[in-house]
Structure 1
Amino acid sequence: MWVRSAFWVGRPKQGEDDAFVQGVNNIIVPGLKTLPGVLDAEAFWPRRLEDSPPDVCCQIIVRFESVSDIDRMLASPERAAMRERVLAVTQHFEGALSHIDYEVGQA
């Protein structure tokens, strides 16, 4: 199993919290679930912080069976089409969006 994690580090623009949260929950996550190779996708919203973590506003986890499924999703026309919807949501956010791909359960 593989996981691709998107980290939204920063915060929604002033007065745009609801638009950002709704965009992630109702546009990005459901859209990710339709992309080729994706098993599931979820948004995580930090509520309790410990030991001074980075300023992560939201983390999106996307699950895949294999790394080749991540590559297939990244190269797909469906993902390219979805980028416009993601960019629309980022208009409500001040900060950085970055990704990490993890192999799960291997050493």
Structure 2
Amino acid sequence: MYIRCAFFRGHVRPGSEDAFTQFVRDRLVPLWTRFPGADEVRVLRQEEADVAEPHYAMVLAIRYPSRAAIEEALASEVRTKSRAVTAELMPLFDGDIFHTVFRADEFPMSPERG
């Protein structure tokens, strides 16, 4: 499996936190959850970190079964639309966005946790 992440490196502008969150939920999540080939969409918001910087206001993590599924999503019309809508979000955000693809392995939890 693969996970493609969009890292929103930086900070939401002071006083814009609620508007940022609402915009993501109302305008972007409905698009991201329509990406072809995607199995799961997660929106991560940084609560704490052991370093001051870099700060990630948000990380979008979308799980795909294959690299081909990622390519399909990247070539899709809904992805083009999501990029345009993301541009509308940027006045609420001081920072930049970059993407990374991770190959991910999953392991079941041990029954001997304790």
TM-score, normalised relative to structure 2: 0.83
Asked if the contact 1:64/1:70 (under 8 Å) is kept, the reply is: yes
For 2:49 and 2:95, the matched residues in 1 are separated by: 19
Q: Is the 8 A contact 1:39 1:64 kept in 2?
A: yes
Counterpart amino acid of residue 87 in structure 1 = A
CA distance in 2, matches of 1:95, 1:2: 26
* CA–CA separation in structure 2 for the residues paired with 1:42 and 1:23: 15
Letter in 2 for 1:35: F
Q: Please, what is the CA RMSD of the aligned residues? A: 1.7
Moved over 3 A (4+): none
Aligned residues: 106
Map of 2:43 onto structure 1: 43
**Which runs of no fewer than 5 residues in structure 2 stay unpaired?**
107-114
Q: State the Cα distance separating 1:58 from its structure 2 match.
A: 0.9
Q: Percent identity?
A: 25
Match of 2:39, SS state, is strand
